[in-house]
């Protein structure tokens, strides 16, 4: 999907960048930035999950479950990144309440990731039972 989007940069003295290449900016900050390697790791895991689906050829309901859990994990990672970036921008010094908020965001990603692992295990058990 191509179009025009505004993608804000990290520094306050920079103007928003107008991009005509894509309407989605998260990949610029999450996939390319070296400090967001967890998004890359989750993206690789998602690709591996879909490769496993293509190899196992399960029922369509498994495709839906894997797709939903994959999207949930990636969305949680994006929200966590947004929360951390916003917190660091608004309050650069360490603060106990901001630490709690960041830890909760990371915990949400962990919970979604564990859910995805449970779905993967159930898929493998179902495939072995066939």
Note the pLDDT tens digit of each residue in 65-102: 999 999 999 999 999 999 999 999 999 999 999 999 99
pLDDT in tens, 17-33: 544 444 455 555 555 55
In contact, 20 and 7? CB cutoff 8 Å: no
For 22, phi then psi, to 5°, come to -160, 150
Tokens describing residue 57: 């050829």
Query: What pLDDT band is residue 40 in, cutting at 50, 70 and 90?
Result: very high
Neighbours of 30 (CB within 10 A): 23
Coil, helix or strand at residue 1: coil
Tally of CA atoms within 13 A in the half-sphere of 10 that contains its CB: 13
Cα radius of gyration rounded to whole Å, the chain: 18
Catalytic residue annotation: 77
pLDDT digits (tens, 9 = 90+) for 107-128: 999 999 999 999 999 999 999 9
The residues, ordered by sequence, that sit 6+ positions from 94 with a Cβ below 8 Å of its Cβ are none
User: Does residue 89 sit in helix, strand or coil?
Assistant: helix
- For the segment(s) 31-129, the CATH number from 1.25.40.10, 1.10.760.10, 1.10.287.3610, 3.40.640.10 is 1.10.287.3610
Residue 72 vs residues 57, 78, 79, 100: alpha-carbon distances, Å? 22, 10, 10, 22
Domain ranges of the chain: 1-28, 31-129
């Amino acid at each position: 999907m191509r179009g025009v989007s505004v993608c804000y940069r990290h520094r306050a003295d920079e103007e928003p960048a107008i991009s005509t290449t894509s309407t989605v900016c998260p990949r610029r900050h999450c996939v390319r930035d070296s400090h967001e390697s967890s998004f890359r790791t989750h993206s690789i895991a998602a690709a591996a999950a879909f490769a496993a689906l293509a190899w196992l050829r399960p029922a369509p309901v498994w495709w839906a479950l894997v797709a939903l859990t994959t999207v949930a994990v990636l969305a949680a990672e994006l929200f966590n990144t947004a929360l951390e970036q916003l917190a660091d921008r608004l309050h650069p010094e360490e603060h106990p309440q901001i630490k709690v908020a960041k830890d909760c965001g990371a915990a949400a990603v962990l919970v979604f990731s564990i859910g995805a692992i449970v779905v993967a295990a159930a898929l493998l058990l179902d495939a072995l039972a066939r």
